[in-house]
Amino acid sequence: MLDAAAPTLFLDAAERDHLYRVAEVPRPPVNSDPPAEFPSHLDTVLEALDPSPAMLADARTAVLRWNRAYAAVNPALVSAPPGKRNTLWHLCAAPEGQHRIIDRDERAPGAVAGFRSHYSQNAGDPRWQDFVARLRAAGPLFSRLWATHDVVPPRLCDKRCDITGIGEVNLRATGMELTDHLGVRLVVQTPADRRSRENIDLLLRRAPHL
């Protein structure tokens, strides 16, 4: 019945999944458990993508692996403990001064609404419930956006960073699902303009230890 109603209501895929969640009808869960170990060739892929920041993330937006450029642009994120080494956590709950995101207020609503789309398929999983509970307790931004119940198809967003002593870096994100590891995606951020690429090159020259 819900499948018949969805086209009539002109629901997209994310809204249809959310409809099933509201109706308490189970949907096939998303496999969001990354493997205990990744094959070494994935590290080779990440390294080959330098100087473009690149990383592997799971469905809960946890950052699993990353390359040197990603670490240089996101030092507080990659050095966080595993439970907080997460792009949504970093966007919504990182203290001021730890994140370098200029347009956080503009990016956060879409990021939370896209995350809810994945959550709707895994709402019975205590790991997802725990993550949402910790995010809601961590700060008002996520809690306020979560209360809107907005849901959109998950999508990657461009990112604007202000790096102290370097300047602004504008990045365009591209994501690719790994066919061998369901729920894991490769995210590559490419500089949106010449100044951004020059600033990333300068940042990497100043951080040779990464």
CA–CA distance, 205 with 89 (Å, rounded to integer): 29
User: Hey, what domains does the chain have and what are their CATH numbers?
Assistant: 2-206 (3.30.450.180)
d(Cα 159, Cα 172) in Å, to the nearest integer? 7
* pLDDT value of position 23: 63
In degrees, rounded to 5, the angle at the alpha carbon of residue 42 between the alpha carbons of residues 120 and 31 is 20
Q: How do residues 62-109 score in pLDDT, each as one tens digit?
A: 999 999 999 999 999 999 998 899 999 999 998 876 668 888 888 999
Helix, strand, coil tally for the chain in percent (to 5): 45, 15, 40
Residue 2's pLDDT is 52
Average pLDDT over residues 31-41: 65
- The span from the CA of 63 to the CA of 83, in Å, is 10
What is d(CA 210, CA 151) in angstroms, rounded to the nearest whole number? 37
Could you tell me the end-to-end alpha-carbon distance of the chain, in angstroms, rounded to an integer? 54
